[in-house]
Structure 1
């Protein structure tokens, strides 16, 4: 198995579908550019980043339009299979503008079970990071069904963070963090710090905005944040559309909701 390639800080950033799309469920290029700009800035400061990116299903839908496939799982597979190269083309082009390289790493949930597949993934991530290449992780939608599926990309991001021994996990969504009520209500306040034994599930509110082709939600993020923090990986839920959000979190500024053990 490959050794830890260096002592540089490691961050896993998961960007959700609602961050990178507009109200018409179209990919917003400037958002992707902002994310890459921040990753490039961190790289200059010797912070290594793994990006877990949603958006492939939406990107596929942009190409195919409305599908006549009735089975929702098969439809998602088709949209994602078509959309993944489209998303990677976006990322490849933007990273190239910063003189950086990226790579796609696909996985199913069973690949993270102890054994040869897990060891191979560790070797792959270590080799990519040692070469200064930004891994972009996603689910292998073409073969991920039932038991081999992640609940969503939040779960995938958590597993990747544990796999590479990350120093923190950042879950980017379209709200500023966990609130005491619905984020749009004036009397709701953001909760800045949550310890894993705190009962904050009562504050989860269903968002009025649809999730498009995404599968995650605040309930999922809360569960993932607590479970990841329990492994001594501080986890943040923050607004991916906020300017400089990733860099600010890494630099220790009070942004989003922080989960610790």
Structure 2
């Protein structure tokens, strides 16, 4: 069972969004990954274990292949990019974690693996085995083989399922967005909403860009609507969830220490005053 919000967590799941780990030219930002790993290493020294859920494999694959990809089917093209890019992402993480003397491991999964039964038990055994050895699991959807019926909506959903699976004390969703605002962030006078509960309706605050059918292989899923839906569902299960900007200095450490960063979502309803 998740611990109380004011206690030090022992397990956290940290999701890294595509818009966070790639730049405007769709290239992986190695310096950003280094800052994330440095914070995970600091938590590791405190006895706090992390699981990373990292996006970016499709863009990492495209960065390698460039114009060499001659596959015309957009869905197959995405599979190709993911298959090429996933080991490249892991090479980034492996080399950085090695600097801190920490081992990491890749865990690729499909939605079926979280279904109750032997698949779920196998996943639990995998994560518990890695965590018991002080190894940082790095999770991602197995995009190369996932079928539509066994695919996650996005990695926000995967992160939530992993958080529930390992009974995490916090889920931290990091992207290029600071959190939830009461109106479009670029508008004058917009204010960040620091805390909501899982029973609050906030969709009217959120604007989403249209889905690009012509560039389906490079769409960046997981906008604020998805994040908020996942955060509320996870909070209902007793796992406080924070949506924050992953490029902020020491953002993970600040969140774990309980500082006011981003938007916190907790289990509702809010307590009434006596």
Same fold (TM over 0.5): yes
Matched residue, 1:112:
114
- The Cα shift of 1:186 comes to 2.2
Matched residue, 2:242:
236
User: Does the aligned pair in 2 maintain the 1:31–1:241 contact within 8 Å?
Assistant: yes
Matched residue, 2:39:
38
User: Does the aligned pair in 1 maintain the 2:9–2:256 contact within 8 Å?
Assistant: no
User: Does the aligned pair in 2 maintain the 1:10–1:166 contact within 8 Å?
Assistant: yes
Matched residue, 2:5:
none
* Count of aligned residue pairs for this structure pair: 254
- The Cα shift of 1:202 comes to 0.5
Matched residue, 1:63:
64
- The Cα shift of 1:207 comes to 5.6
CA–CA separation in structure 2 for the residues paired with 1:197 and 1:177 = 18
Aligned with residue 215 of structure 1, among 194, 218, 221: 221
- The Cα shift of 1:141 comes to 1.2
CA–CA separation in structure 2 for the residues paired with 1:125 and 1:214 = 27
User: Does the aligned pair in 2 maintain the 1:195–1:260 contact within 8 Å?
Assistant: yes
- The Cα shift of 1:221 comes to 0.4
**SS in structure 2 at match of 1:194:** strand
User: Does the aligned pair in 1 maintain the 2:9–2:169 contact within 8 Å?
Assistant: no
Matched residue, 1:84:
86
CA–CA separation in structure 2 for the residues paired with 1:76 and 1:116 = 29
Aligned with residue 128 of structure 2, among 112, 126, 137: 126
**SS in structure 2 at match of 1:76:** helix
**SS in structure 1 at match of 2:187:** coil
User: Does the aligned pair in 2 maintain the 1:239–1:256 contact within 8 Å?
Assistant: yes
User: Does the aligned pair in 1 maintain the 2:9–2:170 contact within 8 Å?
Assistant: no
List gaps (5 residues or longer) in structure 1.
Answer: 1-6
Instruction: Describe how 1:94-105 pairs up with structure 2 within 5 A.
Output: 94-105=96-107
List gaps (5 residues or longer) in structure 2.
Answer: 1-7, 268-274
CA–CA separation in structure 2 for the residues paired with 1:227 and 1:206 = 20
Matched residue, 1:165:
167
Matched residue, 1:25:
26
CA–CA separation in structure 2 for the residues paired with 1:138 and 1:258 = 24
User: Does the aligned pair in 2 maintain the 1:57–1:213 contact within 8 Å?
Assistant: no
Matched residue, 1:225:
231
CA–CA separation in structure 2 for the residues paired with 1:40 and 1:98 = 7
**SS in structure 2 at match of 1:170:** strand
- The Cα shift of 1:145 comes to 1.4
- The Cα shift of 1:214 comes to 2.7
